[in-house]
Amino acid sequence: MKTEHATQQSIGWLVSGLVLGLLGVLVSVITPSWDVPGDSSVVAVVNDTAITRAKYLSYLEALASDKKDPIGAEDSRYVLQRIIEEELLVQRGVEVGLLESDKRTRAALVNGMISMTTTAAEAKAPSEGELAEFFEENIDYFTPTARLRARQLIVKGEDAEQRAGEAYRLLAAGELFQRVESEFGSVVALIVPDSLLPPAKLREYLGPTLTQMLLEQPAGFVSAPQPVGSGFRIVQLFDKAVGKAPAMEDIREQVEAEYLRRSGDRALREYLEWLKDRADISYPSELPL
């Protein structure tokens, strides 16, 4: 049982190492290589690639957390051999072009590099001053959007344009919407809910253009008749609840999370620009349209 378990564990290390370990190859392109085999910080060298003591100890620690018994010399040798085998598989994967031919491997590398680049920036907690400045500069982002209560009147049939004009004049003069709707309105399948709705929800009924128009108008606004299908549409804004900016102390965790997220995004963008600057990129032909 012990031999079978060790074999299964070994296979698991090898398979996972081939994908996850390829990240180390990419990282080695931008970090100094170890070229002194006798260095105390190196425990093995595989085809000129050093296995650092820090890496070895991290793997050993992972094994220790899974074992009830203390780590012995046999366990230490076992861990080192698994790291060496992983490194051999990684090197062979690069040699046979796995980075170019396997989409999953490339995706794992890209995600690993993104994580490596953004983690350091996201781990640095902002000062209270930095957080307050960020909040003030992005106050609109943290302010809830307005909610709107609106109804639409669809006028169809003969003389629809003339009848829609008359309905618009009545509504603009203050006539009750229900009365105008009963006289001029046509039955429609999509009825706007008679309640305060966020803009994203209202767009589903009125579309982006009308919704944006209502966001910019005060309560009581009536839109001029607009052609829609075989008739005309009039929209009346009954109520508008404007979003109120919260105090930073009430949403501090949200503000800090967004600050760190953007710091990571900024670090990634700067790193990508650095990579582009140091790379030799050419465009032999125009891209097809």
Identify the pLDDT of residue 61: 85
Amino acid 76 reads S
Identify the pLDDT of residue 43: 87
pLDDT per 10-residue tile (average), the chain, 289 residues: 46 49 45 43 87 86 80 84 87 84 85 88 90 92 90 92 94 94 88 91 92 92 92 94 88 94 93 90 72
User: Is 271 exposed, middle or buried (CB count within 10 Å of its CB: 0-12, 13-18, 19+)?
Assistant: middle
pLDDT digits (tens, 9 = 90+) for 229-271: 889 999 999 999 988 888 999 999 999 999 999 999 999 999 9
Q: Count other C-beta atoms under 10 Å from residue 225's C-beta.
A: 22
Measured CA distances, 35 to 44, 47, 49, 51, 56 (Å): 11, 11, 8, 11, 17
DSSP letters for 114-145 = HHHHHHHHHHSPPPHHHHHHHHHHTHHHHSPP
pLDDT digits (tens, 9 = 90+) for 65-96: 877 778 788 888 888 888 888 888 888 888 88
Tokens of 184: 């001029």
Q: Which CATH number fits domain 144-241: 3.40.50.720, 3.40.50.150, 3.10.50.40, 3.30.530.20?
A: 3.10.50.40
Identify the pLDDT of residue 289: 52
Identify the pLDDT of residue 25: 45
Measured CA distances, 127 to 99, 111, 130 (Å): 41, 29, 5
What residue ranges do the domains of the chain occupy? Answer: 2-114, 144-241
φ, ψ (nearest 5 deg) of residue 110: -60, -45
Identify the pLDDT of residue 171: 95
CA-to-CA distance for 243 and 228, rounded, in angstroms?
31
Specify whether the CB–CB gap between 271 and 173 falls below 8 A.
no
CA-to-CA distance for 226 and 229, rounded, in angstroms?
10
CA atoms within 13 A on the CB side of 212: 3
CA-to-CA distance for 39 and 199, rounded, in angstroms?
63
Specify whether the CB–CB gap between 22 and 94 falls below 8 A.
yes
Amino acid 158 reads E
Helices (H), the chain: 2-20, 22-28, 53-66, 73-95, 98-101, 103-123, 128-137, 139-142, 160-172, 177-184, 199-206, 208-215, 252-278
